[in-house]
Amino acid sequence: MRAAVFGRDFFGQQYYRILSEKIGKKNVSIIDRVQDCHKADVLALSGAGNCTFQNIAHAMRKGVHVIAEQITDATPEKVKTIQGLSGRFNLKVAMGGIEQFNPVVRKAKELLGTDKIISMEAVRFGPHDPSRKAHILYDIMVHDLPVIGLLNPSPILGVKAFSTNITDNLTVFLRHKHGTSILRSSRSPMYKERRFAIYAQKSTIEADYIKQEILFSRVSSEYEISLAKIGYLSKRQVFIEKEEPLKAMISDFLDSIGTKRNIMPWKSVRGFYTLCTRIEDNLNIGRD
């Protein structure tokens, strides 16, 4: 198997490193034109300017499997076209969802079980890589929205979004059929913070993406409920076997090639890009 990486930013370097580990360094190249992907079996796209519908469609029409971040110019119609190309040419395509391979997300879903979510919060703070010239909504698209959708698949009935400076900060409110979600992202802080929290009827889950740690509490008796009401219910740290999310995502993608396993939930993906459009349409910038 041969692979090509289109994009020389941080993620592009990580794609190159991991693919080299998986299939051998001599089988991986970095290209500067997507037109050169025809020499490879797999194309990895990195960077907002490179993860476009046109580049993905071009590679697939050349018979190349594609792994990429979220598409910056996607619409439900374009996703349907990519789905058609995937079926027509028997190709695998993975678009985004890297945080779903983070072990804290998998563990959080396991801990949550059938407990009913009341609210969720996702926070993404830290200085921005200037080489990644992307709308701040793209940060939330790549990382947080897919996780919210995975942990609370309840239909979204209402969307509100606010920003004082769209290149710097964004807050999104989602009203689900069951529960609510708040997503906050800012590039101003000099510290890096990546976390999410789930507040359910009988449990609380606080997760740190970077440290890959979870604090967990659950009430299962009348005594514990009484303790929780007065703030005395303790939280315990849950053991998590640490794993590199991008490496897990690439491994899953490579393993799927040549099989009939579907790695893209197409209906959910189209719904995801519809939601991104709704957020942009309901974005209030610099106004009360």
Phi, psi at residue 237, to the nearest 5°? Answer: -85, 130
What is the number of residues in the chain?
A: 288
Label the pairing between strands 213-218 and 236-238.
antiparallel
The pTM assigned to this predicted structure is 0.83
Residue spans of the domains in the chain: they are 3-96+247-264, 103-242
pLDDT tens digits, one per residue of 35-46: 999 999 999 999
Closest by alpha carbon to 264, among 73, 61, 91, 88?
91
- In angstroms, the CA 195 to CA 234 distance is 20
Assign domain 3-96+247-264 one CATH number from 3.40.50.720, 3.40.640.10, 3.30.1330.30, 3.30.70.260. 3.40.50.720
**Same topology between domain 3-96+247-264 and domain 103-242:** no
Closest by alpha carbon to 66, among 121, 13, 15, 18?
15
Residues near 200 by beta carbon (within 8 Å), at least 6 away in sequence:
112, 115, 116, 117, 118
Query: For residue 121, with 0-12 CB atoms within 10 Å meaning exposed, 13-18 middle and 19 or more buried, which class applies?
Result: middle
Q: For residue 123, what are its two tokens?
A: 């926070």
Domain 103-242: state its class: alpha beta
- In angstroms, the CA 115 to CA 97 distance is 23
pLDDT tens digits, one per residue of 146-177: 899 889 999 999 999 998 887 788 999 999 99
- In angstroms, the CA 272 to CA 268 distance is 6
Q: For residue 156, what are its two tokens?
A: 């979204």
Residue 230 has pLDDT above 60, yes or no: no
